[in-house]
Structure 1
Amino acid sequence: MLSILVANIKGGVGKTTVATHLAAAFAGEGRQTVLADVDRQKSSLGWLARRPVTAPVIAALDWTKEIGSVPKGADVLVIDAPAALKAKEVEQLVAEADVVVLPLLPGAFDEQATERFLKKLDELKPIRKSRKAVAVVGNRVRARTRAADRLDTFLGTVGHRVVTRLRDSQAYPDAAAAGLTLFDQKAKRLADLRQDWAPLMTFIVDPNG
């Protein structure tokens, strides 16, 4: 089973958007996909409750009180982590994952929090010894802006692979409101936005590729 942890100690960086999109992308490929929500806000579970029955099936796990077991036969597990994780919680969740996906937004506060979180990750032996991969993702990026330029400068210092940058678009909240993602919609106008995810999907499947 492939296990993906989506995490950052900064809230509001788009962890749930990334987690739901990854789950939908793998489910759309026909893989038995499970989405585990660790955040007490239960945003991922709420999204799953809104998901149409016609969309590819994603199983739900409520891990808000404790980390539980994964159903037998699962091909992919996506874990949506809460913000403000304590060191022990970070260690427990990393132990469950093959790949850690770390989204962040342009901005000084996000950069500071992300830098602290990466330091926590780097203290963990599986990360330090490169046994588990880390994918950094710039989220809600608006090209040719000062914020985007600042983000690029910061990402050049993080010491982990910056896999992709996801453009800012109203299409994301619109899809979330319906329990969907860009991968559930085949509109040509969304093709470029979906393409932003391709490097991340490739990295998750083969981090050493």
Structure 2
Amino acid sequence: MLTVLVANIKGGCGKTTIATHLAAAFATAGQNTLLADVDRQKSSLGWVDRRPADAAPLTGLDWSKDLATPPKGSGRLVIDAPAALKTRQIEELVKLADVIVLPVLPSAFDEQATRRFLDKLEELKPIAKNKKAVAVVGNRLRARTKSADRLDEFLDGVGHKVVTRIRDTQLYPDTAATGLSLFDLKGKRVGDYRADWEPLLSYIALVG
């Protein structure tokens, strides 16, 4: 089983959007997919509950109190981590993961928090010895804005692979409200935005 941890100590950086879209991408590709929600707000589990019966199936796991052993026979496990993780929690989740996906928004506050989180990650042996892959994702970018330019400068110096930059669009909140993702929809406009995810999916596939 390939396990993807979506994490950052900064709240509101799009972890749940990233986690649910990765889970949907795996499910629509025919993978037996689990989505574990570690956050007590249970936003990912709410998304799973809203998911239509005719959408590609996936299973939600409530890990908000304790981490549990995933069911056998699963192909992909996506873990949606809460903000403000303590060091012990980071260690436990990183131990489970094959890939750590770290979203960051174009904001000075997010950049500062992301740097602190990366510093914590780099203290862990699996990260320091390059035994765990870290994929940094620029999230909710609006092209040709000063904030996007500043984020690009920040990402160039993070010391980890910046896999992709995901553009902002109303499609994300619209699909979240119905338990869907861009991978569940068709159409040219959706396809254009879905292309932002291909480098991340390819990176994860290489790790697997």
TM-score, with length taken from structure 2: 0.99
Aligned partner letter, 1:174: D
In structure 2, C-alpha distance between the alignment counterparts of 1:124 and 1:192, rounded to whole Å: 37
Aligned partner letter, 1:86: K
Q: Deviations over 1:151-196 (max 9, x none)?
A: 0000011000000000000000000000000000012211110000
Q: How does 1:1-209 map to 2 (within 5 A)?
A: 1-207=1-207
In structure 1, C-alpha distance between the alignment counterparts of 2:207 and 2:194, rounded to whole Å: 20
* C-alpha contact 2:10 2:114 (8 A) present in aligned 1: yes
What's the C-alpha RMSD, in Å, of the aligned pairs?
0.9
- Tell me the matched-pair count: 208
In structure 2, C-alpha distance between the alignment counterparts of 1:205 and 1:132, rounded to whole Å: 14
Query: Runs of 4 or more off by more than 6 Å in structure 1?
Result: none
Q: Deviations over 1:127-153 (max 9, x none)?
A: 110010000000000011000000000
In structure 1, C-alpha distance between the alignment counterparts of 2:44 and 2:166, rounded to whole Å: 19
Q: Deviations over 1:3-58 (max 9, x none)?
A: 00000000000000000000000000101000000000000000000000000011
Question: Unpaired runs of 5+ in structure 1?
Answer: none
In structure 2, C-alpha distance between the alignment counterparts of 1:127 and 1:100, rounded to whole Å: 10
TM-score, with length taken from structure 1: 0.98
In structure 1, C-alpha distance between the alignment counterparts of 2:53 and 2:31, rounded to whole Å: 17
Question: Unpaired runs of 5+ in structure 2?
Answer: none
In structure 2, C-alpha distance between the alignment counterparts of 1:62 and 1:187, rounded to whole Å: 33
How much has 1:207 moved relative to structure 2? Answer: 4.1
Aligned partner letter, 1:49: D
Question: Between the two proteins, what is the percent identity of the paired residues?
Answer: 66
In structure 2, C-alpha distance between the alignment counterparts of 1:180 and 1:187, rounded to whole Å: 15
In structure 1, C-alpha distance between the alignment counterparts of 2:206 and 2:89, rounded to whole Å: 26
Aligned partner letter, 1:140: R
Aligned partner letter, 1:12: G
In structure 1, C-alpha distance between the alignment counterparts of 2:192 and 2:148, rounded to whole Å: 18
Aligned partner letter, 1:193: Y
* C-alpha contact 2:98 2:207 (8 A) present in aligned 1: no
Aligned partner letter, 2:147: A
Aligned partner letter, 1:61: L
